[in-house]
Amino acid sequence: RFQRSCGLFPAGEEGGGSGDPEEGPRDRGACNGAGALRCPAGGAGVRSGRGPQGCTQKYIVKNYFYYYLFKFSAALGEEIFYITFLPFTYWNIDHSVSRRMVIVWSIVMYIGQVSKDILKWPRPLSPPVVKLEMRTNAEYGMPSTHAMAATAISFSFFIATMDLYKYPFELGLVAAVVFSTLVCLSRLYTGMHTVLDVIGGALISAVLLVLLYPAWDTIDHLLLTSPFCPLFSIVVPLVLCYNYPKLDYYSPTRGDTTTILGAAAGATVGFWLNNQYAASAYAGKSAQPGFPVITSTMVLVLARFFVGIWVVLLTRWVMKNVVLSVLGYRYKFSLGDLAAQRRLEVEVPYKFVTYSSVGFTATVIVPLLHEVLGLL
């Protein structure tokens, strides 16, 4: 109903469904066997997506504003957002804000991902729902980790910056609410979650924020000063990844969880190393208002971001190929063998090492490069 009200209509329907329960949520969230949603001749604004069983969904976009708004909003809960916004915060806003966001994000996302595979609630049926995404279709639905991440990131950013910068409290609160609401609504529009999945995800994230907030300063202090921080930051996430709940079929939840915990582990080690051996960059700097100062500051901000994101993406590409090559040699598989990459002994070290390198690069290597280039 939500999709119809927003101008998104299936173009037609035929076929039945096998509904094999052993296939997990892939059947229940796809086109049910050989069925397809097709478009009548002459339909305008047609989009299509291929499901996990090879079936094709076609739909007619009646309202492009909602379509692109919620497609963009959905991306705010995915890797492309995490890998840009979290480093941007560290490079250009404040180290303490970035540290708290990474801590909250990793804890909230781990709990959300594990909850999916423990509860095993299916995603919405398709048909009648038209699904605009297929990558996460093999995952279970409850809770929505998009809703959890959006709530955690927006409100932790608001809370962490509230006492550091002078801006109206109401403005920050509205911005956090709008951001999280758009991401939550995008999961309904794209057909990936029910209303209960989204509400459950947002509420779980809110409860975790309330529980974590009193311990923020203590956790932050321990991560920066404890001599055991590097060992703890690597060992605990690895143990959690290797002991992730097992399913009867492959789901990307374990790989995504390993990616998140790996990135947080690398960043945490970087935080500790910077506090031990390097001066705190970016923090505590202020400038008097004025157009020339604002213009030069924006140039520096953009320069730091584009240099940093280029190095981060390069690190991800290099480490991915190096680690996969080493694991391929060890376990005798080719780089293009996706089935082999999904095995526990391959997926966990491959993603953990790759993304811990990304987190470490963003917090240690990139700031050093900024200093060398005179971008501080």
Q: Which residues are catalytic?
A: 146, 193
Show Cβ contacts of residue 187 under 8 Å, excluding neighbours closer than 6 positions: 74, 77, 144, 146, 147, 193, 197, 198
- Residue 99's nearest CA partner among 212, 211, 240 is 212
Burial 251-284 (b: 16+ CB within 10 A, else e): bbbbbbbbbbbbbbbbbbbbbbebbeeeeebbee
Total length of the chain = 376
- Residue 244's nearest CA partner among 231, 256, 234 is 256
Q: Return the DSSP state at 16.
A: -
**343 Rama sector, left if φ>0, alpha if ψ -120 to 50, beta otherwise:** beta
For the chain, percent helix, then strand, then coil, each to nearest 5?
65, 5, 30
Provide the pairing of β-strand 46-50 with 8-10: unpaired
